[in-house]
Structure formats: structure tokens, C-alpha cells
Structure 1
Amino acid sequence: MTDTIQSTQQQPASTALKGIDISHYNGKITWPTLSNEISFVYCKASQGITFKDPMFKEYFGQLTNAGIIRGAYHFLTFQNAPADQQIANFLGNGINFSTPGTLPPVLDIEWQVPDSLNAYIIANRTICIQLIKDWLNGVEAKTGRTPMIYTNTNFWHDYLGNPSGFGNYPLWIASYQTKPPVLPPDWTAYTFWQNSDKGTFNGITGPVDTNLFNGNLADLKKLGLSL
């Protein structure tokens, strides 16, 4: 897709706060070593109506004990997965989003696997957009926290048609590049920018997704209820 809007973002400073997002694919992690290199971590908690990440509770507990600012995300399934059941699956992990150090819940909105499932989104765009709204509204009602949307500008445009009405939700944008990312039309700023899937750190084996926070440490602590 040719980008049709210009980014309003400034190039992040070299001192921008860095973090990672992880799932069970990342295996065992040595947090005392890694904590010297990152400021926050998001963990995959669930997907669809039944899948819970088998490493989530271990990761989240370790992060809590280590005092690292952390959050949890849910990977949205669009087909045959009612919002209330996906919410129940996500919150069934027992996360207390009012605990200091906990970032807002995140809804991961992106390409489905296998790729054949993505045709459903285009053919049922209105239903899929309503599913997103229902998940966001339901999780906010149950947790008292405004959820964050994780997505990619191309996906938001090509599959969902750049729907409006989501700009009040914080944005976590996925864009693997060095220049500031172009954002979907509903947003003028991002909260997190996933800028690579090839990060390397001491304490974790293999590549990992890396993210930059659009703010200073005080802002991050406030977002994580740490102030």
C-alpha cells in the first residue's frame, strides 16, 4: 500500500525507553540480566476463545517479582469467536490491572494465521469492526482501564478500511523501520512503536520484538500505575 498520510511523529531520541514483547516462543528468560537493558515488557496472554499462552503466568509473575513494568495482550480472532468469550479467555489469566506496575490491556489486531482466514475480515468488515469495539468496551468495563490497540497501518487500511471512532484508545503501532511510522488516520501520536522483530538482548535467546515508548520514564510509570 502507498501511504496516503504523513506521520506527525518526531524521530525518537537515542535515549528513548526500550522494551520488548514476548510469548512462549521466547522460552526461558533471565530477567535480572535483561532488566538492565529494558524498561517494560508486554506478554502474550491469550488468543481467541480458548488459547492461553503457556508461559504467560510464569513470565508475568517473574516480571512482577523483578519490579519490571509489564502488560498483557490478547490476539484477536475474527471468525467464530464472540467478543464476550475472547474477553473471558483473556481475563481468565487472573490479571489485576489495578496493581502498580501494570500497563493497560492490549488488543492485538492484525493478520490471521493461516492467511486464508484474512479474506473473512474483508468480506465481513462491519462485523469485525463491531467485534473490536465490543472487546474494547467489555475489557474497559471489567478492568477499569482504557485498553490499547496494537496494529499495523497497512492492516488497518487494507482489511478494516480505516474505521473511525478508535482515536481515543492509545496506539501501539507495528512498523519495522528506522524513520517515524505513518499512523492510521484516527491517530496523531503513538504510545508504543514496535520497531523491530530482530532485537537481541542479554538474558534472552534468539531474536525478540523491540519497542520504543513515546515519553519519558515518568510518563511510563504513570501509564503503568507506578506513580
Structure 2
Amino acid sequence: MTARPTARAFTLALCAALLAVGAASARAAADPPRGHDVSSHQRGVDWTRAGEDGARFVYVKATESTDYRSPAFEEQYAGARAAGILRGAYHFAVPDRSSGAAQAAYFVRNGGAWRADGRTLPPALDMEYNPYGTQRCYGLGRTAMVRWIRSFSDEVLGLTGRRPVLYTTADWWRLCTGDSTAFAGDHALWIARHDASDAGALPGGWTTWTFWQYATAGTLPGDQNVFHGSLAGLKRFARG
């Protein structure tokens, strides 16, 4: 049988345990916050488990064009908040269907609003290749595409007080905007580059990224992302 520990042994063991917890907390605080993005393809997420597995933020798809609102949005958005995970909404752009301002207004009315509560990330705009046809840039020329993005951004700013985060890839931005530098000064970049050791060359005058989507699968639900900074920095970014 094991002897009952002495008071000194118990104290030493307790100190060692507390030091281990403190070291783990320090490492967690120093590591860049990890997160994910989800849409109606990910249903029934266990948000408590996601937080326990390391998720600190999530972007939830709210809308697309001016006629689609994700049926999973409310559940996902509220579930993440209840689990203490910072959350924001994103809009999937379909620029050949309506103006940027029209899609922005629809987005904000249907989940894309922002508040300075420290728990809500700024709205995000998803700009990527056209999944609905052969025209990869939705039939818009580069100048017209830049105008469309600016129209969306200005409307979001007017309605929420924040510029949207821009999600894209370097390839899409180069092909569809001519690598425009018009947004680098006042828009946070959410760059997508999967299965690589870093985010790679950035588009359009950006010298740094705010979010990097680095994989489409992993221990967290949905696509995998990391914030460029600390957890405290992420909270400051949320507050604006």
C-alpha cells in the first residue's frame, strides 16, 4: 500500500502542480490565438468542446448575395458566444448579382452588425473565385471589381462604424483587382493559403496579415485560422 503523504510532500506536490498550470497558461497566452470559420456545412458544433480544444475566435457565414441567409447562422453565432469564443460574421460576395452597397446592407441586416462589446469581431467580406460559373471574376473588370469592393466597404462602414476584414487569396486579388493597393491602408487582411509554412507573399500593398486561413480541416470545426498577434491583441481588435 502507498503511505499517506507527509505535509511537506503534499506542499511540494501542490507547488509543482501550480507551477505546471502557470507555465501552461503562460504558453497559451503567448501562442497566437487559433480559430476557425464555419457555414451551414458545419452543423451541430460542440462549441464548449471547440473552446476546450483551443478555439479563441470564429467567423460564421451569415449571407450571400442579397437572397441567402445561412440557416445555421443563429445557432452557430449564439453558440460560440455562449462558449466564450469571440465571433464575427462574414458575407460571401457574388458581385455579378447586385451592387456592393446592396449586398452590404443585406449582410448587416441579417447578422453582419458589429458592436464594441469586446466579443464581436468586425464584419468580413469573402472575395474568391466564382463557384457558379466559368467567369472567375464574375464578369467584372479589375476597375469595376475594386469599385464593387469599395462600395461594399463604404456601406458597412456607414452602418456599423467598422471597415470589413477582407478575405481573399493572393491569386484571386492579383487576377481580379490587378493587385490593387486601394485597401491595404484601412482594411485588415484575412489571407487564405493552405498547407504552407507561412502566409506567403501578400497581395495589394499589405505588409502584414491579420488572419491567416492555413488549412481546411483539423481538430477545430470548419476551416483553420490563426490571428497575427496575442489573445489580448485579438480582444483589442474586436473592440476596435
TM-score (norm 1): 0.85
2:149 pairs with 1:135: no
Aligned twin of 1:220: 234
1:113 alignment partner, one of 118, 131, 150: 131
Shift of residue 124, structure 1, vs aligned partner: 2.4
Aligned twin of 1:23: 39
How far apart are the structure 2 equivalents of 1:115 and 1:194? 24
Deviations 1:137-159 (A, max 9, x none): 11011101121110000111122
Q: Which has the higher contact order (CA 8 A, sep 6+)?
A: 1
Deviations 1:35-64 (A, max 9, x none): 112110000111111111111111111122
How far apart are the structure 1 equivalents of 2:189 and 2:205? 10
Residues 81 and 87 in structure 2, CA contact (< 8 A), matched pair in contact too:
yes
2:161 pairs with 1:147: no
Partner of 2:63, secondary structure, is strand
What is the identity, as a one-letter code, of the residue corresponding to 1:20?
Answer: H
Partner of 1:93, secondary structure, is helix
State the structure with more CA Rg: 2
Q: Which runs of 4+ in 1 moved over 6 A?
A: none
Shift of residue 120, structure 1, vs aligned partner: 3.8
2:203 alignment partner, one of 180, 184, 200: 184
2:51 alignment partner, one of 35, 40, 43: 35
Aligned twin of 2:216: 197
How far apart are the structure 2 equivalents of 1:108 and 1:170? 12
Q: Percent identity?
A: 33
Superposition RMSD in Å:
1.8
Partner of 2:191, secondary structure, is strand
Aligned residues: 207
Aligned twin of 1:8: none
Residue ranges of structure 2 left out of the alignment (5+ in a row): 1-29
Shift of residue 95, structure 1, vs aligned partner: 4.7
Shift of residue 93, structure 1, vs aligned partner: 1.6
How far apart are the structure 1 equivalents of 2:105 and 2:163? 17
What is the identity, as a one-letter code, of the residue corresponding to 1:103?
Answer: L
Residues 213 and 226 in structure 2, CA contact (< 8 A), matched pair in contact too:
yes
